[in-house]
Amino acid sequence: MARNGRKRKMVKRYKCGQSKRESVTPVEVNAGPTPEMANHKKASGGGELVPLSYLLVRGQITPEQHDAMHDYARLKSAAWGKPFPKAGALREMVGGEAPVPMTSEDLARARKSYEGALDALRSAGALSVQVVDFVAYSQSGHQLNERYMKALLAGATALAGRFERKRAA
């Protein structure tokens, strides 16, 4: 006769039917950063590391590409908002000095600058737009496969060219 309910896992059991559990060593809580994380933090100047910083520290992107993607993320935050944007950085991107609330003219300028950066990014391809948004704006730490890394580099190069022309002018 078949047993009712969920099938038992294939583990060793005591005579009473309970499973024998192997002893597990407890994980140390707040054990500190791993050696790799400490090296990355030291290489980036001690600041908080985000995925773009990891890519820069590993030598996968150039400092110009890194700065261009940060500028793009700041412009997008200024133009469309983000849960926790830094006001001083947003004002700096649209040409102001003091960290005061943005006026409608500042917002229009930010959206115009963002649209120009987005056009430069679109010239690298639709996948580049998606990957740069994913990495630069959402600051997600997922690993990038070869296809996405190529798209990220193409988008970052297009943005670097756009922001370099803007700085030169």
* pLDDT-derived band at 145, boundaries 50, 70, 90: confident
Residue 123 has pLDDT above 80, yes or no: yes
If pLDDT is split at 50, 70 and 90, which confidence band does 154 have? Answer: very high
Contact in structure between 55 and 61 (CB atoms under 8 Å): yes
Q: What is the pLDDT of residues 15-71, one digit of tens each?
A: 888 888 765 555 555 556 677 767 766 665 555 555 777 788 778 888 899 888 888
- Mean pLDDT, to the nearest integer, of 114-129? 90
pLDDT at site 32: 61
Per-residue pLDDT at 122: 92
Residues forming beta bridges with residue 19, ordered by sequence position = 13
* pLDDT at residue 119, as a whole number: 92
Range scoring the smallest mean pLDDT among 1-10, 44-53, 91-100:
91-100
Q: Which residue has the tokens 């793009």?
A: 72
| 100 vs 38, higher pLDDT | 38
Most confident of 37-41, 125-129, 135-139, 144-148: 125-129
Nearest by Cα to 139 from 49, 39, 42: 49
Task: Find tokens 């890194």 and name the residue.
Answer: 66
Task: Tell me the pLDDT band of 124, cut-offs 50, 70 and 90.
Answer: very high
User: Is 158:120 a contact under the CB 8 Å cutoff?
Assistant: yes
Helix 104-122 to helix 146-168 angle (10° resolution) is 130
pLDDT band, residue 8 (cuts 50/70/90)? confident
Find the length of the chain: 169
Q: Encode 62-125 in three state secondary structure.
A: CHHHHHHHHHHHHHHHHHHCCCCCCHHHHHHHCCCCCCCCCCHHHHHHHHHHHHHHHHHHHCCC
Question: 60 near 149, Cβ under 8 Å?
Answer: yes
pLDDT value of residue 101: 64
